[in-house]
Amino acid sequence: MIATKSVKPALQQAYVKLMMDVIGRGLVMASQVDEEIKQEVAKFPVNFILSMNVFPNGAAFVAQVTEDHQLKLLTPGSQKPDLTITFKHLTHAFLVFSFQESTAQAFANDRMIADGDLSYAIRLVRCLNKMEALILPKLVAELAVKEYPTQLSLKEKLSGAANIYLKVAQSYLKRSA
Protein backbone atom coordinates (compact mmCIF):
# COMPACT_ATOMS: atom_id res chain seq x y z
CA MET A 1 0.00 0.00 0.00
CA ILE A 2 1.25 3.49 -0.85
CA ALA A 3 1.68 5.78 2.14
CA THR A 4 -0.14 9.00 1.31
CA LYS A 5 2.07 11.01 3.68
CA SER A 6 5.10 10.24 1.49
CA VAL A 7 3.51 11.79 -1.60
CA LYS A 8 3.98 15.55 -1.79
CA PRO A 9 0.78 17.63 -2.05
CA ALA A 10 1.79 19.05 -5.46
CA LEU A 11 2.18 15.52 -6.83
CA GLN A 12 -1.11 14.45 -5.23
CA GLN A 13 -2.82 17.43 -6.83
CA ALA A 14 -1.37 16.71 -10.29
CA TYR A 15 -2.26 13.00 -10.02
CA VAL A 16 -5.83 13.70 -8.82
CA LYS A 17 -6.32 16.27 -11.61
CA LEU A 18 -5.19 13.74 -14.23
CA MET A 19 -7.31 10.95 -12.77
CA MET A 20 -10.39 13.19 -12.51
CA ASP A 21 -10.00 14.01 -16.21
CA VAL A 22 -9.52 10.36 -17.17
CA ILE A 23 -12.49 9.25 -15.04
CA GLY A 24 -14.73 11.96 -16.48
CA ARG A 25 -13.79 11.03 -20.04
CA GLY A 26 -13.98 7.32 -19.23
CA LEU A 27 -17.47 7.69 -17.82
CA VAL A 28 -18.62 9.62 -20.90
CA MET A 29 -17.17 6.98 -23.24
CA ALA A 30 -18.53 4.11 -21.13
CA SER A 31 -22.00 5.65 -21.44
CA GLN A 32 -21.63 5.10 -25.19
CA VAL A 33 -20.35 1.50 -25.20
CA ASP A 34 -21.44 -0.41 -22.09
CA GLU A 35 -25.05 -1.63 -21.94
CA GLU A 36 -25.29 -1.61 -18.14
CA ILE A 37 -23.97 1.97 -17.91
CA LYS A 38 -26.24 3.02 -20.79
CA GLN A 39 -29.24 1.68 -18.83
CA GLU A 40 -28.17 3.55 -15.69
CA VAL A 41 -27.58 6.83 -17.56
CA ALA A 42 -30.97 6.47 -19.29
CA LYS A 43 -32.59 6.73 -15.85
CA PHE A 44 -31.21 10.25 -15.33
CA PRO A 45 -33.41 13.06 -16.68
CA VAL A 46 -32.35 14.57 -20.03
CA ASN A 47 -30.04 17.59 -19.45
CA PHE A 48 -29.25 16.37 -15.92
CA ILE A 49 -25.82 17.69 -14.92
CA LEU A 50 -23.55 15.72 -12.60
CA SER A 51 -20.13 16.57 -11.30
CA MET A 52 -17.33 15.30 -9.13
CA ASN A 53 -14.83 17.65 -7.54
CA VAL A 54 -12.30 18.19 -4.78
CA PHE A 55 -12.98 20.85 -2.14
CA PRO A 56 -12.42 23.79 -2.22
CA ASN A 57 -11.30 24.52 -5.79
CA GLY A 58 -9.57 21.35 -6.89
CA ALA A 59 -9.87 19.03 -9.85
CA ALA A 60 -13.34 18.42 -11.26
CA PHE A 61 -15.34 16.97 -14.08
CA VAL A 62 -18.86 17.92 -15.13
CA ALA A 63 -21.05 15.86 -17.44
CA GLN A 64 -24.54 16.31 -18.84
CA VAL A 65 -27.08 13.71 -19.93
CA THR A 66 -27.89 14.25 -23.61
CA GLU A 67 -31.20 13.67 -25.37
CA ASP A 68 -29.93 10.28 -26.58
CA HIS A 69 -29.19 9.33 -22.94
CA GLN A 70 -25.40 9.48 -23.13
CA LEU A 71 -23.05 11.70 -21.21
CA LYS A 72 -21.08 14.61 -22.59
CA LEU A 73 -18.43 16.63 -20.78
CA LEU A 74 -19.03 20.26 -19.92
CA THR A 75 -16.57 22.91 -18.81
CA PRO A 76 -16.49 22.94 -14.98
CA GLY A 77 -18.29 25.99 -13.64
CA SER A 78 -20.24 26.60 -16.86
CA GLN A 79 -23.55 25.41 -15.38
CA LYS A 80 -24.84 24.50 -11.93
CA PRO A 81 -24.90 20.72 -11.48
CA ASP A 82 -27.98 18.86 -10.30
CA LEU A 83 -25.69 16.44 -8.45
CA THR A 84 -22.21 17.10 -7.11
CA ILE A 85 -20.00 14.54 -5.41
CA THR A 86 -17.30 16.40 -3.47
CA PHE A 87 -14.16 15.01 -1.89
CA LYS A 88 -13.65 16.96 1.33
CA HIS A 89 -9.86 17.06 0.90
CA LEU A 90 -7.24 16.38 -1.75
CA THR A 91 -5.83 13.50 0.32
CA HIS A 92 -9.25 11.83 0.35
CA ALA A 93 -9.46 12.02 -3.45
CA PHE A 94 -5.91 10.67 -3.69
CA LEU A 95 -6.85 7.65 -1.54
CA VAL A 96 -9.70 6.78 -3.92
CA PHE A 97 -7.86 7.56 -7.17
CA SER A 98 -4.77 5.61 -6.09
CA PHE A 99 -7.08 2.66 -5.29
CA GLN A 100 -6.21 2.58 -1.60
CA GLU A 101 -9.88 3.08 -0.76
CA SER A 102 -13.07 2.32 -2.69
CA THR A 103 -15.65 5.00 -3.43
CA ALA A 104 -18.11 3.23 -1.11
CA GLN A 105 -15.51 3.14 1.68
CA ALA A 106 -14.75 6.85 1.15
CA PHE A 107 -18.48 7.63 1.58
CA ALA A 108 -18.58 5.42 4.70
CA ASN A 109 -15.51 7.21 6.10
CA ASP A 110 -17.24 10.58 5.50
CA ARG A 111 -14.57 11.68 3.02
CA MET A 112 -17.11 12.62 0.33
CA ILE A 113 -20.43 14.41 0.29
CA ALA A 114 -23.27 14.26 -2.19
CA ASP A 115 -25.14 17.47 -2.95
CA GLY A 116 -28.31 16.44 -4.76
CA ASP A 117 -30.72 13.53 -4.87
CA LEU A 118 -29.14 10.54 -3.13
CA SER A 119 -30.73 8.06 -5.55
CA TYR A 120 -28.89 9.81 -8.42
CA ALA A 121 -25.64 9.71 -6.42
CA ILE A 122 -26.05 5.95 -5.97
CA ARG A 123 -26.74 5.58 -9.71
CA LEU A 124 -23.56 7.58 -10.51
CA VAL A 125 -21.49 5.41 -8.17
CA ARG A 126 -22.87 2.28 -9.90
CA CYS A 127 -21.76 3.72 -13.25
CA LEU A 128 -18.30 4.55 -11.88
CA ASN A 129 -17.97 1.07 -10.35
CA LYS A 130 -18.89 -0.67 -13.62
CA MET A 131 -16.51 1.55 -15.60
CA GLU A 132 -13.67 0.86 -13.15
CA ALA A 133 -14.41 -2.89 -13.24
CA LEU A 134 -14.13 -2.77 -17.03
CA ILE A 135 -11.03 -0.59 -17.47
CA LEU A 136 -8.86 -1.60 -14.53
CA PRO A 137 -6.97 -4.85 -14.07
CA LYS A 138 -9.07 -7.15 -11.89
CA LEU A 139 -6.69 -6.96 -8.89
CA VAL A 140 -6.86 -3.15 -8.92
CA ALA A 141 -10.58 -3.03 -9.69
CA GLU A 142 -11.30 -5.24 -6.68
CA LEU A 143 -9.69 -2.54 -4.52
CA ALA A 144 -11.54 0.28 -6.30
CA VAL A 145 -15.10 -1.06 -6.18
CA LYS A 146 -17.22 -2.32 -3.30
CA GLU A 147 -18.05 -5.57 -5.08
CA TYR A 148 -16.41 -6.76 -8.28
CA PRO A 149 -19.07 -8.01 -10.73
CA THR A 150 -18.98 -11.81 -10.70
CA GLN A 151 -20.80 -12.04 -14.05
CA LEU A 152 -18.17 -9.92 -15.87
CA SER A 153 -16.55 -12.26 -18.39
CA LEU A 154 -12.99 -11.78 -19.59
CA LYS A 155 -14.29 -11.22 -23.13
CA GLU A 156 -16.71 -8.49 -21.96
CA LYS A 157 -13.97 -6.90 -19.81
CA LEU A 158 -11.42 -6.84 -22.63
CA SER A 159 -13.80 -5.60 -25.33
CA GLY A 160 -15.35 -2.99 -22.99
CA ALA A 161 -11.96 -1.76 -21.84
CA ALA A 162 -10.62 -1.60 -25.40
CA ASN A 163 -13.64 0.41 -26.59
CA ILE A 164 -13.49 2.82 -23.66
CA TYR A 165 -9.71 3.32 -23.87
CA LEU A 166 -9.92 3.87 -27.63
CA LYS A 167 -12.63 6.50 -27.24
CA VAL A 168 -10.78 8.21 -24.37
CA ALA A 169 -7.59 8.31 -26.47
CA GLN A 170 -9.57 9.75 -29.40
CA SER A 171 -11.04 12.43 -27.12
CA TYR A 172 -7.53 13.51 -26.09
CA LEU A 173 -6.40 13.56 -29.72
CA LYS A 174 -9.41 15.69 -30.73
CA ARG A 175 -8.61 18.12 -27.90
CA SER A 176 -4.99 18.54 -29.00
CA ALA A 177 -5.83 18.91 -32.71
Q: What residues does each domain of the chain span?
A: 4-165
Q: Band the pLDDT of 76: cuts 50, 70, 90.
A: confident
Q: How many CB atoms lie within 10 A of CB 127?
A: 23
Residue 3 clears pLDDT 70, i.e. is over it: no
Write down the CATH superfamily of domain 4-165: SCP2 sterol-binding domain (3.30.1050.10)
Residue 139 clears pLDDT 90, i.e. is over it: no
Q: Band the pLDDT of 155: cuts 50, 70, 90.
A: confident
pTM reported for the whole predicted model: 0.84
CA proximity to 164, closest of 13, 16, 32: 32
Residue pLDDT, tens place only, 53-68:
999 888 999 999 999 9
pLDDT for the residue 143: 76
* Contact assessment for residue 29 and residue 35, using Cβ atoms and an 8 Å cutoff: no
List, in sequence order, every beta strand (DSSP E) within 43-170. Answer: 49-54, 60-65, 71-74, 83-87, 112-115
* Contact assessment for residue 131 and residue 34, using Cβ atoms and an 8 Å cutoff: yes
